[in-house]
Amino acid sequence: MRKENILLILWIIFGFIFIVAIESILYFLINLLYFGLAELGVSYNIMTYVFPIITLVLYSLTAFFLLERVKIKSIKFGVEPSKFPKKLLIILGITILVLTPLTEKLSGIYSESAMDDTQFRIGEYFLFYGWFNLGFAISQTLVLIIIVVYLFKKLKEIKDN
C-alpha cells in the first residue's frame, strides 16, 4: 500500500471519529439539559416539543461553526494532507469512549430515580422519549443533507470558475 492510500484511509477514519465525537458531545449536553429541566419540574408534554427544536438548533449551529472553521483554516493555512493529527485523533477517541457510556449511565441513573417520583407519568415519559430520540435522528439527517447540498453547490461554483 502506498503512503497516499494509507493517509487517505487515516483521514477517512479521522472524519468518522471526529463526527462521532461531536455527536457524543452534543448528545451529552442535550441530555444534561433534559436532566436539568426535568429536575426543575418542566412538564414532559412541554419538553416533547421543545427538545427536537433545541436539538436541531444545536446541530445546525455546530455544523455552521465547523464549516466556517474549515473555511477559515483552509484559507489561512492550506490543506496539508500529509500532516495527520494523531494527538487530536486520540483526544477525540477518548472523548467518545468517556462521554458515550457516561451519558448512557447518567440516563439510566436518572430514569431509576425518576421512577420513584410519585408524580411521574409513564405515558408522558414514553411520548417524550420517542420525540427526544426522533429529534436526534431528524437533526442529524437534516443537517447532513444541508451540508451535502451546500458542498455540492460550492463544488459547482468552483468548477464553473
pLDDT of residue 27: 92
**For residue 38, is pLDDT > 80?**
yes
Measured distance between the N- and C-terminal CA atoms of the chain, rounded to whole angstroms: 35
Element holding 40 (H helix, E strand): none
Q: Give the pLDDT mean for 75-79.
A: 48
pLDDT of residue 158: 80
Q: Give the pLDDT mean for 57-71.
A: 88
Q: Give the pLDDT mean for 88-103.
A: 91
pLDDT of residue 118: 45
Q: Residue 60 in contact with residue 150, Cβ under 8 Å?
A: no
With a CB cutoff of 8 Å and minimum separation 6, the contacts of 52 are 131, 132, 134, 135, 138, 139
Name the more confident of 22 and 108. Answer: 22
Convert the pLDDT of each residue in 96-129 to its tens digit.
999 989 998 888 888 777 666 645 567 777 778 8
- CA neighbor of 10 nearest in space, from 78, 118, 84, 69: 84
- Percentage of residues in the chain having pLDDT higher than 70: 88
Q: Residue 54 in contact with residue 33, Cβ under 8 Å?
A: yes
pLDDT of residue 116: 63
Banded pLDDT at 79 (limits 50, 70, 90) = very low
Banded pLDDT at 77 (limits 50, 70, 90) = very low
